[in-house]
Amino acid sequence: MTALNRLIGSTPFRLTVAYMGAFVVAAALIVAYVAWRANELLTSKAIEALTAEVASLREQFQSGGPPRLVAAINERTGEPGSGLYLLLDAGSNKLVGNLPRKPSALVPGGQGHLFSYQRPSDSMGAHERLAVGLSVPVSGGHTLIVARDIEDQRQFAATIGRVALWSFGLLSVLGVGAGILISRSMLARIEAVTETSRKIMAGDLSRRIELSGSGDELDRLAESLNAMLARIEELLLALREVSDNIAHDLKTPLNRLRNRAEAALRSPDGPSSYRDGLAKTIEEADELIKTFNSLLLIARLEGGAVAESMTPVDPAAIIGDIAELYEPAAEEAGLALAVSAQPGLSLVANRELVSQAVANLVDNAIKYSAATDTPAPVAAGAAQATAFAPAITIALTRTGRAIEIAVADRGPGVAPQDRERALQRFVRLEKSRSRPGAGLGLSLAAAVARMHGGTVRLEDNVPGLRAVLSLPVDGPHPASALPSRAKR
């Protein structure tokens, strides 16, 4: 397809030509109607004037007979103007007037009618002129014809018609030209979008549609498409990273699982060794199942699969249950777990998911605090251990239109440059990776926050880490933006 064919076949060109054609047809109909009505009006006014003049000449005839009528006609034909007169006797012979002969179109006693005539003063071959007149019988067998020359009116109408035709032709040319210019502009922008999409399909996910800066519909569409492309690129990069992380982080437990099973088979201890090996294999398999369940839950959350399960919940009851659940684990690690909650707060959320997110934050706080702080004395008793143990706090407050659940610890914390990355899947800042886990705890908390239209922030607790789960009071808004991912 040639460039001209593409241009002519484009939607903007066809729409422009269609609009232009409709406008020209509508304008032609309006001009024709106005011209017809104007001609009708002028003709009717001329006939009214002729009727009045006929009445006046009849009065002249009645008062003075044929001589008076002849004198009146001579007087009027001597005056300059468009008046035409003709008086015929009973034998249709001309008595007086400036019409050379009786027009055949005029019938005595009939309605006014148009007719053509030629002035006696015109040279031979001169064009005929147009007039409108009346033919009325007069006493004694005479016939009186009174008419008006409307040739100037006809020429004016013809001039208007020619101007209208030229205007319509010029308008058509301008319309086609405008259609070509608009089509070229639109096709250039659409071609840019097409070219960008081709490069994206070829694998260059960083390509974006250029904006013209006009802020029109195409620019707004391009902005939306660019946002969609950025989100797709982010998801694909995340998928690639997840695949790499799965290959690295799940390879070790799978190898360990195989090695333990192989060691149990080679052990000379017999059934007792097999039983112990199977028990450890089941433990490893449970950890792997938990990892994959976390991945599936994160995928469901990011896909909005549980977005309709929002109900009013009591966040104070949630953190109270979590504190009660993890208090034994904290005491076993030599840590004190404290809870402070602002009373009377309510939240529209999924209780199970918010509980899971807070549990992940508390579990991280216990796990990373227990291994870094000096263990509390054991022989001095529980009271003394609590007095020296590092504190983990769960705080519930309201800030504006959001409910914030902050879990603070006294662990090693997270460097500011790693806080965004810490909320991504399978990211573990611990180099040795000696602690249990797959790096999905904070990722799951961040996914829960995104589903609720909220965020997870990692802040410095001086020392330690303060993880803040911020959720809107009224639940997620349909147009809420998805925050950046992060995970510890």
Q: What's the predicted TM-score (pTM) here?
A: 0.45
More confident residue, 256 or 55: 55
Across 205-232, average pLDDT: 82
Reply yes or no on whether the pLDDT at 375 is more than 50.
no
pLDDT score for 404: 93
Q: Looking at mean pLDDT, say which of 4-18, 59-73, 99-113 comes out highest.
A: 59-73
More confident residue, 299 or 432: 299
Quick count: other Cβ atoms within 10 Å of Cβ 100?
12
Reply yes or no on whether the pLDDT at 381 is more than 90.
no
pLDDT score for 339: 92
Lowest mean pLDDT among 7-11, 94-98, 175-179, 444-448: 7-11
| Contact by Cβ (8 Å): 366, 436 | no
Quick count: other Cβ atoms within 10 Å of Cβ 375?
13
Question: What is the CATH topology of the domain spanning 3-155?
Answer: Beta-Lactamase (3.30.450)
Q: What is the pLDDT of residues 161-193, one digit of tens each?
A: 788 888 878 878 887 777 777 777 777 777 788
pLDDT score for 136: 84
Q: Side by side, which strands form the sheet with 391-399?
A: 336-341, 391-399, 402-408, 465-472, 455-460
At 123, the pLDDT band (50, 70, 90 cuts) reads low
pLDDT score for 199: 84
Quick count: other Cβ atoms within 10 Å of Cβ 93?
8
pLDDT score for 394: 93
Let me know if domain 308-488 sits in CATH 3.30.565.10: yes
Using CA atoms, how far apart are residues 392 and 222, in angstroms rounded to an integer?
48
Residue (of 102, 79, 77, 78) closest to 89 by Cα position: 102
Mean pLDDT of the chain: 77
pLDDT score for 316: 92
- Cis, peptide link before residue 315, omega less than 30° from 0: no
The domain limits of the chain are 3-155, 308-488
Lowest mean pLDDT among 228-237, 356-365, 397-406, 423-432: 423-432
| Contact by Cβ (8 Å): 385, 378 | yes
Using CA atoms, how far apart are residues 380 and 362, in angstroms rounded to an integer?
26
Across 326-334, average pLDDT: 88
Using CA atoms, how far apart are residues 332 and 335, in angstroms rounded to an integer?
7
Using CA atoms, how far apart are residues 408 and 397, in angstroms rounded to an integer?
14
Q: Looking at mean pLDDT, say which of 126-130, 294-298, 431-435 comes out highest.
A: 126-130
pLDDT score for 432: 41
Using CA atoms, how far apart are residues 325 and 316, in angstroms rounded to an integer?
14
Give 412's Cβ-side CA count (13 Å radius). 13
Using CA atoms, how far apart are residues 196 and 309, in angstroms rounded to an integer?
39
More confident residue, 270 or 397: 397
* Residue 365, phi-psi category: left (phi > 0), alpha (psi -120 to 50), beta (remainder): alpha
Give 479's Cβ-side CA count (13 Å radius). 0
Percent of the residues in the chain that have a pLDDT greater than 70, as a whole number: 79
Reply yes or no on whether the pLDDT at 387 is more than 50.
no
pLDDT score for 426: 55
